[in-house]
Amino acid sequence: MLKKSSLYFFLLLIISSCKLTSKPSNPVLEQGDGYVEVEGGKIWYGIMGNGNKPPLLCLHGGPGGTGKRFYNLSEISKERPVIFFDQLGSGRSDHHQDTTLLKVENFVEQVKALKTALNLNEFYLVGSSWGTALGLEYYLAYPEGVKGIIFNSPYFSTSIWTEDAAKLVANLPDSIQTAIHIAERDSLFNTDSYNAANTFFASKHGRRKEPVKHPFDTVPSNGNTFIYNYMWGPSEFTATGTLRNYDNVKSLQKVKVPTLFTTGEFDEARPETVKMLSEMVDDSQFVVIPDAGHSTLNDNREAVVKAIQEFLESQKEN
């Protein structure tokens, strides 16, 4: 039988162990919006829903896009907070054309600043297109608190992306292919024929349906084409910017949290490719969103929401 002093010491060890292993809960987030100071200015963020369930922290595409597409996750905000923001330079954040700020690591620090400002202890990262590259970079730099990741229409490598684009372009009408070939050969991307080719490609593999505006989307929030062109290029299938040699795909093997990969049936991020990428993560799920291009939240919102909800339901949340 243990002596009283020994029993007391034993109980102290148990209590200390519990304190060390238990994770602090998130603060109760309230629906609303605000701004956070980052290098170069302020970023705007919005929160849908409330409560202390691990929230979704959403990273938009582009670069130079906005977070307003994530209004389409409002149904999920009935269960947990959904946080999204406009990366510096676009949307309701401070705009700029300072190219020294347009580095991947700066965007990562913006995510970190928002996470810190909201005192998040546990959360899910949700990235879309360029936002998936940003999500992976953030996880590699700051894995603490990331409970899981959702990669929607993912981009991790420019060479993989442009190879997929070339396969899709090869199935377009000859006149479209010719316009693209001439523009790329001559580095002339402001012609009517190239713009028409870009529009046609987008109608097949970008946003396939008319834009659906969410009732919450009431404040003007414009993207920044300067950032898109500087970092990416003149179109989804032509990369000429600072990301033209970007490749971080092998880092997927370092992801050690549950991960969901989704992509549209007709997406620029081709299902065959995304399935291959998903197989690089040990604990991953893969879902194709039917009848959707790259803008899955516009083309088939219900299927995206369902995939995310089922993924979240499969996670153990205390």
Active site residue 129: yes
* DSSP state for residue 63 in the 8-state scheme: T
CB 26 within 8 A of CB 54: yes
Given 129, 153, 278, 295, the catalytic residue? 129
Q: Are strands 32-38 and 259-264 parallel, antiparallel or unpaired?
A: unpaired
| AA identity, residue 37 | E
The count of other CB atoms within 10 Å of the CB of residue 84 is 27
> 77, 93, 128, 267: which one is catalytic?
267
Concatenated DSSP letters of 246-299: -B-GGGGGG--S-EEEEEETT-SS-HHHHHHHHTTSSSEEEEEETT--S-HHHH
Residue appearing with tokens 């899709």: 168
- Catalytic position from the list 284, 294, 295, 299: 294
> One-letter amino acid identity for 158?
T
DSSP 205: I
CA dihedral 28, 32, 35, 38 (to 10 degrees): 50
Q: Which residues are catalytic?
A: 129, 267, 294
